[in-house]
């Protein structure tokens, strides 16, 4: 090593960096080798070879560091670590021979050859050429360590190893723990470690102690070696059982997060109670269903009669108001028409435009003008509702306000249809109270998601608003019952 003292500082720094890099790669290869899944003599020999190569790289780094330190302090010292250099070489040579005999592997033999080039007697025998041999061995071990590290890294991606098993365990949602008969933990995943911290406040390295002092005393016995451990915001089901691994028997402890199932069981009980209550309510409703149906049918019939006879009653009212009593023939026809109209409407689908034309003609016969400005919507259901509301509004105007002109305006606002209805009748002398007529019109509008507003000043005005798209385009519509 004395010849290294004559090298420039830059060269010595490069050699020291290479030695440190080689030591790091050798350490990585040794760690990766320890986690290989293979067992047996070859596995142990490879581990020994990786350790000896790591030792040799440390010797290289120590020798170069010694030279660098001596140069900085201004004195020269003969190379050291004589015994360590011979011992590592001898061990490497033995391991290389055994591996060559077992697997015909040459890589350990190359490492032994590199160690041979750095032995103390080679320093004396080669003289000034020793730095060349030392540098060759240095970079040879660096390259072999890098190659071995890369090969082992690739191997973990395609084969089973201790690291790959640990990674697989850590990726599970289940917490796992394996311990020997004496309680010593062999392996546990991160989920179990986190669970230990949450349940006990620390990590246990005695699996039996954790199971018997933390889990079992604070759990509910779920049967078959299972225990339900409840935390403030979660629930875990622990199971424990013995498994055989080779010649050894170990205990496996698994914990599954059953928070969802536990909440589901609680919710199910609540739902069962709600179901029982609803069954009682349903029974009471069924007992009253006949009465409710009769009341609904009575309301429907009353509305049909009201809508069907409205205009005929108005005509009779006009006769009486102006003292023009109809002759016997007209009176009999009017009476028969009322009776026929009572049973002719039912639930028959009506054409809103035909209804409007009939209404205008009938009111015209008694001297009442119905004027509609704008167009009925193309959506038949909406058009029908607007005509029905206009029909009811006209009846109220003639009956209560003595009007002989009723005006309606329909506008299309894009997202809604608006109809305003007013008349030339007398203004209300008191506050307008909503009776069956106004309530029926409001039900008409609300049936399609609309609204009805009433204004008494300056003239009595009804404003109906119905959203566009709530009816059937082109349809004739079905009257509400």
User: Per-domain residue ranges for the chain?
Assistant: 2-163, 172-257, 271-346, 350-481
Q: Which of 59-63, 304-308, 469-473 has the highest mean pLDDT?
A: 59-63
Nearest to 375 by CA among 409, 414, 421, 350: 409
Instruction: Check pLDDT > 60 for residue 38.
Output: no
Domains 172-257 and 350-481 share a fold: no
* Entry field: residues in the chain: 481
Cβ neighbors of 450 (< 8 A, separation 6 or more) are: 385, 416, 464, 465, 466, 467, 470
Average pLDDT of the segment spanning 10-34 = 77
Q: What mean pLDDT, rounded, does the chain reach?
A: 76
Q: Which of 172-176, 246-250, 290-294 has the highest mean pLDDT?
A: 172-176
pLDDT recorded at residue 471 = 66
CATH topology of domain 350-481: Heat Shock Protein 90 (3.30.565)
What is the share, in percent, of the chain residues with pLDDT greater than 90? 6
Cβ neighbors of 422 (< 8 A, separation 6 or more) are: 406, 407, 459, 460, 461, 462
CATH superfamily of 172-257: PAS domain (3.30.450.20)
Give tens-digit pLDDT for 238-277. Answer: 998 888 766 778 888 989 888 877 677 667 677 777 777 7
pTM, two decimal places: 0.35
pLDDT recorded at residue 210 = 92
417 by DSSP, 3-state: which? strand
Cβ proximity of 456 and 428 under 8 Å: yes
β-bridge partners, 369: 405
**Angstrom distance (rounded) from CA 59 to CA 70:** 16
pLDDT recorded at residue 311 = 54
> What sign does the CA torsion over 216, 217, 218, 219 have?
positive
């Amino acid at each position: 090593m004395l010849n290294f003292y004559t090298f420039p500082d830059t060269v010595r720094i490069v050699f020291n960096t290479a030695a440190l890099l080689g030591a790091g790669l050798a350490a990585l290869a040794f760690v990766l080798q320890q986690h290989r899944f293979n067992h047996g003599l070859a596995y142990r020999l490879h581990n020994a070879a990786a350790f000896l190569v790591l030792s040799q790289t440390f010797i290289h780094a120590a020798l170069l560091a010694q030279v660098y330190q001596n140069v900085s302090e201004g004195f020269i010292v003969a190379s050291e670590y004589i015994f360590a250099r011979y011992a590592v070489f001898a061990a490497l040579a033995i391991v290389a021979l055994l591996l060559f005999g077992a697997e015909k592997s040459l890589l350990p033999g190359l490492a032994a050859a590199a160690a041979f080039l750095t032995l103390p007697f080679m320093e004396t025998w080669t003289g000034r050429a020793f730095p060349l041999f030392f540098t060759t061995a240095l970079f040879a071990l660096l390259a072999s360590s890098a190659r071995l590290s890369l090969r082992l890294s690739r191997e973990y991606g395609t084969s089973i190893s201790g690291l790959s098993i640990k990674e697989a365990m850590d990726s599970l949602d289940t917490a796992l723990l394996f311990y020997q008969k004496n309680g010593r933990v062999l392996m546990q995943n991160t989920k179990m470690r986190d669970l230990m911290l949450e349940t006990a406040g620390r990590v246990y390295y005695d699996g039996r102690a954790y199971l018997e002092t933390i889990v079992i005393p604070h759990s509910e016995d779920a049967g078959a070696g299972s225990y339900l451990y409840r935390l403030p915001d979660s629930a875990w089901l622990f199971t424990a059982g013995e498994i055989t691994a080779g010649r050894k028997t170990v205990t496996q402890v698994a914990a599954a997060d059953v928070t969802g199932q536990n909440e589901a069981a609680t919710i199910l009980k609540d739902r069962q109670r709600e179901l029982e209550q609803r069954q009682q309510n349903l029974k009471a409703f069924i007992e009253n269903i006949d009465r409710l149906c009769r009341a609904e049918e009575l309301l429907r019939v009353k509305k049909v009669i009201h809508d069907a006879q409205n205009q005929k009653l108005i005509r009779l009212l006009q006769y009486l108001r102006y003292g023009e009593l109809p002759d016997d023939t007209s009176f009999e026809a009017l009476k028969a028409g009322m009776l026929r109209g009572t049973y002719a409407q039912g639930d028959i689908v009506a054409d809103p435009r035909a209804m409007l034309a009939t209404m205008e003609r009938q009111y015209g016969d008694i001297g009442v003008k119905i004027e509609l400005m704008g167009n009925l919507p193309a959506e038949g259901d909406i058009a029908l509702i607007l005509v029905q509301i206009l029909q009811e509004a006209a009846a109220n105007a003639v009956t209560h306000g003595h009007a002989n002109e009723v005006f309606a305006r329909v506008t299309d606002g894009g997202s809604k249809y608006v109809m305003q209805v007013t008349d030339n009748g007398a203004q209300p002398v008191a506050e307008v109270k909503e009776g069956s007529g106004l309530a029926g019109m409001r039900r008409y509008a609300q049936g399609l998601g609309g609204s009805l507003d009433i204004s008494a000043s300056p003239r009595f005005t009804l404003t109906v608003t119905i959203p566009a798209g709530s009816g059937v385009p082109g349809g004739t519509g079905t009257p509400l019952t």
